[in-house]
Structure 1
Amino acid sequence: MKRAKGEEDGYKSMDIISSLPQEILQRILYFLSQEDVVRTSVLSKSWRHVWCTRPNLVFSDQTFKGKKQDFLSTVDKTIQRYRDQRLCVEEFDLCMLVDGSEDRESVTFLENWIPLLKNMGMKKFDLSIRARHCRKFTDMPSVVFGAESLQYLHVAKFVMHERSIERLVLLKHLDQLHLKKVYIEDAVFQRIISSCPSIETMIIEGCKGLKKINLSDLPNLIYFNFDVFYGDGLEEEEPCSIEIRAPSIETINITYGNIRFRKGAEFRNLINLHLRGVDSSLEHMSSCKFPILTWLSLSHCHGLKDIQLFIDAPSLVLFEYQGLFIPSISFGKTTSSWRSELNIKYIQINDGYLWFLKLNELLNSVSKSRIILTIDQYLMNHDDIIRGNVNMVQYMNGCGIAVVVDRLSLNASLSSGPSNLNGLLRICRPRILMHLDMEVVEWLWKVLMERESGDEGDRFRPLWLRDLEQGNMEIKETGREEWRSATLSELRKCRETKSYHTRFALKWRQVL
């Protein structure tokens, strides 16, 4: 049977590849998954046994779809065959599940495999072991910390105690450590990291038992992530105290931990700093230097309360704040083009005058950036607004130049009156105003349509209307990219027939 030209070219290409030396074929298989490697055995005679000798092995019990015995048997036979044939295993990647504290079989296999791999020229060993949820914690096999070739270690749902580290050796190759939902106490943790001087990435998620972390002996640490998951009883524990003195650190992510900044510290290589739910005071940050910090994110950090924070970050590109109160933050020299994203969720306003004053101060501190402002004030009540309005007239009349805001999102209902939106428009000049409910849209549309009439019915209205040059309502149907101008009657029709988004595009006169 005559082959088509394209098919014949394909066979010729395959013949050329198949004629390559076995070392080259092994290097080709190096970049394939274990499943794809096995499939190459049907290509030709020369490929039949190459997959059995490639220098890297990757095994995951997830590919065996719950057939635990098949998985253990396959890994065991493969390791034994490599040992018997004196084959080299440059890289070994193992991902496996241990079924609770009674699963002695899996632990026994693991204890047998690791010593064998040590004698096969292994340069890289990636191990990910996890235990099932069970009433009793599963003990971490001590043999793991005797594997000198470990480069990556991911441990989930185990307990690490003194017996777990009784075989602890100098893990000079370990550069990634990931602990997830592990019970580990301070002394054991400090012994482990003191034996891992080359760690570059450390991830700690939802772990119990840790009270204090001191990262002062890790010169190569680049990435540190600490995250506590609520819902597992962790909220009952005291937040872990974290101190970082790593000269190479580039990224710090801390969620519900208490970071301790050393007074006057210089983070010369820090690029990303993300803090969420930090209760400890952050006042010492004011004396720290962040020469190349580009991304600073502060979310629901109670440690910002009652302090005046100064940020020395001349390379800052993005500043994010989210919280239930307005912080006092100022910045030193910054880049010529940086962005501030402020998301303020306010539960209750006890003094409207003070709230607007603090917001005005925050906006002025970031006035040289492109500002994205979101106000979630749906829990404001009418009494709070009225109480603040006594002083607000005097404040608004004496307020300085308003700050230009690229976008203002107001996730709120103004059923209690337009005073709060009027206050916002007095202290900021948003180019885009969006996320308004229909009542607010109709009120603002009416104000814009009547702005030429000189109606003084609302005593706040002239304060911001006099600076408004042009205002257009725009809509965008769901699934479309472009915004288009629309009238109120057209918007009402859209509400009945399709999903849409609404915003106001506002053009302000330049105020000197």
Structure 2
Amino acid sequence: MLPPSRKYDDMDMISKLPLGIIETILCFLPIQEAARTSILSREWRYRWITIPKLAFIEETFQVTYDDELSILDQIIGGSNERKVKAKRCKIFNAVYQVLLMHEGPIHEFTLSMWADNSCVEIDHMLYHLSRKNTLKKLTLDICCGYKLPLSLFSLSHLTDLSISSCALDHQPTFKGFDSLTYLFLQEIHTTEKTLMHLLSNCPSLKHLNLGSNCTTIEYSDDYVIADLFKCLPVIEDLCISFHIILCFQPDRIPKKLPTALVHLKYLCMEGLSFLHKYGLPFLVLLIKSSPNLKKLKLQKWRCYMWLIDDSYLDEVEVGSVTLKDYQNIWVEHLNELEIVEFSDGKNALDFVRLILAKSPVLKKVRIYLDEDGDKDEELQILRVLLRSPCASPVVDIIVRQVRTS
């Protein structure tokens, strides 16, 4: 039997962990759980107030409303609006307490919740973070339509910025995010001027996700699509919605971009229709302008058609696309092609045949049919592709129903 002192030492091993390991453990915990670790031992007490990574996600908060509602409200079930405000208030109080007690740098900050422009508390949080001036990664998912404050543009050390469901205004005093390499913009409301000003002041940007048909961009006659790509000289990973392309005067698509996208390795285009008169020409333009492209992914949204105005429906027919139309394409480094929600009939099929004939190192072709596809269509498409000219001797072609995950 071990002596009592030995038993205690074995049980208290958690207190002897190196500070670096303690910090790593705390960074993986929700902030509420991280704060509770103060009771574990003297070594863990208030250690959570120094962790550099903070995340506040509404779904993870356990909130009861009994202390927020009157007795009458509790008897009759209470107002849903009042409950929402009560939960929002508790979340803000928690964030305020953490920021007030926190010591040392904050490198990552995440806030995901329902809010609106009446929530000045979010402005205060961002202002506090800008005063610390240590933030490197910021994630904001704030439904719905929250207008981001000026202090966002003062976070000069950012390397990663993710914004969802927010409004982004032009800030003429913005001098740029010199260190920003990753930018994710989804379901935002902005203007062409703001977007161009932001992108043109991110000289190190390598990863850009600019998608979603729910994104609204107020366009003007000041920019064309070539201007957008001038802002991305070192881009390596690009995911862009065709809906965004249509905001930049697509009738003025150039024969080639003024600057080749020589660093681009991965291209994903969402919401593309091969039937739209600008769809295939723009896609071919990007492929021809990306000499080192390795993976191409095309994805169509089922709801895409009804989200676009009637002018789209007047311009969908471009005619059949054949290999002869684009003989000057040579996709030297492409090794993977993936199409999700495959449709648009012969135009889409001919595009795949074009890629097969012009990609000498292609290894994988993955075609996922839309919800209307069936086994017979799978076999028919596969049969056509297997019989098509192919520049690569090792390409593996798979055609199947659209993935559910």
| Superposition TM-score tier, normalisation by shorter sequence | 0.5 to 0.7
| C-alpha contact 1:225 1:253 (8 A) present in aligned 2 | yes
Partner of 1:215 in structure 2?
229
Aligned-pair CA distance for 1:306: 8.3
| C-alpha contact 2:192 2:218 (8 A) present in aligned 1 | yes
Give the counterpart letter for 1:139 in structure 2: K
Q: Are 1:181 and 2:187 counterparts? A: yes
Partner of 1:155 in structure 2?
163
Partner of 1:275 in structure 2?
298
Q: In 1, distance between residues paired with 2:331 and 2:388?
A: 18
Q: In 2, distance between residues paired with 1:170 and 1:282?
A: 44
| C-alpha contact 1:176 1:201 (8 A) present in aligned 2 | yes
Structure 2 counterparts to residues 29-68 of structure 1, below 5 A = 29-65=26-62, 67-68=87-88
Q: Are 1:171 and 2:177 counterparts? A: yes
Give the counterpart letter for 1:172 in structure 2: D
Choose which of 270, 294, 300 in structure 1 pairs with 2:343: 300
User: Residue 260 and residue 188 in structure 1: after superposition, are their counterparts in 2 closer, same or farther (change >3 A)?
Assistant: farther
User: Residue 291 and residue 111 in structure 1: after superposition, are their counterparts in 2 closer, same or farther (change >3 A)?
Assistant: same
Cα deviation, 1:357-412, whole Å, max 9, x if unaligned, reads x997654215765555679xxxxxxxxxxxxxxxxxxxxxxxxxxxxxxxxxxxxx
Aligned-pair CA distance for 1:254: 0.7
Choose which of 346, 359, 363 in structure 2 pairs with 1:317: 363
Aligned-pair CA distance for 1:216: 3.3
Partner of 1:95 in structure 2?
111
Partner of 1:109 in structure 2?
124
SS in structure 2 opposite 1:150? coil
Among the aligned pairs, what percent are the same residue?
19
**More RCO (CA 8 Å, sep 6+):** 2
Choose which of 122, 133, 137 in structure 2 pairs with 1:125: 137
| C-alpha contact 1:177 1:202 (8 A) present in aligned 2 | yes
Structure 2 counterparts to residues 473-492 of structure 1, below 5 A = none
Choose which of 101, 116, 123 in structure 2 pairs with 1:81: 101
Q: In 1, distance between residues paired with 2:203 and 2:177?
A: 8
TM-score normalised by structure 1 residue count: 0.52
User: Residue 287 and residue 49 in structure 1: after superposition, are their counterparts in 2 closer, same or farther (change >3 A)?
Assistant: same
User: Residue 240 and residue 260 in structure 1: after superposition, are their counterparts in 2 closer, same or farther (change >3 A)?
Assistant: farther
Give the counterpart letter for 2:143 in structure 1: A
Q: Are 1:250 and 2:265 counterparts? A: yes
| C-alpha contact 2:56 2:95 (8 A) present in aligned 1 | yes
Give structure 2 stretches of 5+ with no counterpart: 63-83, 273-278, 302-315
Cα deviation, 1:234-288, whole Å, max 9, x if unaligned, reads 79x7798597943222211112243343499363432210224597779786433
Q: In 2, distance between residues paired with 1:297 and 1:114?
A: 40
Cα deviation, 1:45-93, whole Å, max 9, x if unaligned, reads 22112222233333333322562222222222332333xxxx3214132
Partner of 2:328 in structure 1?
287
Partner of 1:493 in structure 2?
none
Q: In 2, distance between residues paired with 1:359 and 1:68?
A: 53
Bigger Rg over Cα = 1
User: Residue 271 and residue 179 in structure 1: after superposition, are their counterparts in 2 closer, same or farther (change >3 A)?
Assistant: same
Cα deviation, 1:323-366, whole Å, max 9, x if unaligned, reads 89xxxxxxxxxxxxxxxxx98859xxxxxxxxx9x997654215
User: Residue 185 and residue 41 in structure 1: after superposition, are their counterparts in 2 closer, same or farther (change >3 A)?
Assistant: same
Q: Are 1:225 and 2:270 counterparts? A: no
Q: In 1, distance between residues paired with 2:101 and 2:368?
A: 57
Partner of 1:69 in structure 2?
89
User: Residue 105 and residue 161 in structure 1: after superposition, are their counterparts in 2 closer, same or farther (change >3 A)?
Assistant: closer
Aligned-pair CA distance for 1:18: 1.9
Q: Are 1:365 and 2:388 counterparts? A: yes
User: Residue 76 and residue 166 in structure 1: after superposition, are their counterparts in 2 closer, same or farther (change >3 A)?
Assistant: farther
| C-alpha contact 2:141 2:163 (8 A) present in aligned 1 | yes
Give the counterpart letter for 2:104 in structure 1: C
Q: In 2, distance between residues paired with 1:344 and 1:24?
A: 56
SS in structure 2 opposite 1:72? helix
Q: In 2, distance between residues paired with 1:125 and 1:157?
A: 18
| C-alpha contact 2:160 2:183 (8 A) present in aligned 1 | yes
| C-alpha contact 2:382 2:398 (8 A) present in aligned 1 | no
Give the counterpart letter for 1:127 in structure 2: T
TM-score normalised by structure 2 residue count: 0.64
Cα deviation, 1:95-128, whole Å, max 9, x if unaligned, reads 1335223x2423432343233221xxx2523221
| C-alpha contact 1:150 1:174 (8 A) present in aligned 2 | yes
Cα deviation, 1:22-48, whole Å, max 9, x if unaligned, reads 566445534544244223211112211
User: Residue 167 and residue 71 in structure 1: after superposition, are their counterparts in 2 closer, same or farther (change >3 A)?
Assistant: farther
RMSD, matched Cα? 4.3
Q: In 2, distance between residues paired with 1:322 and 1:23?
A: 45
| C-alpha contact 1:127 1:150 (8 A) present in aligned 2 | no
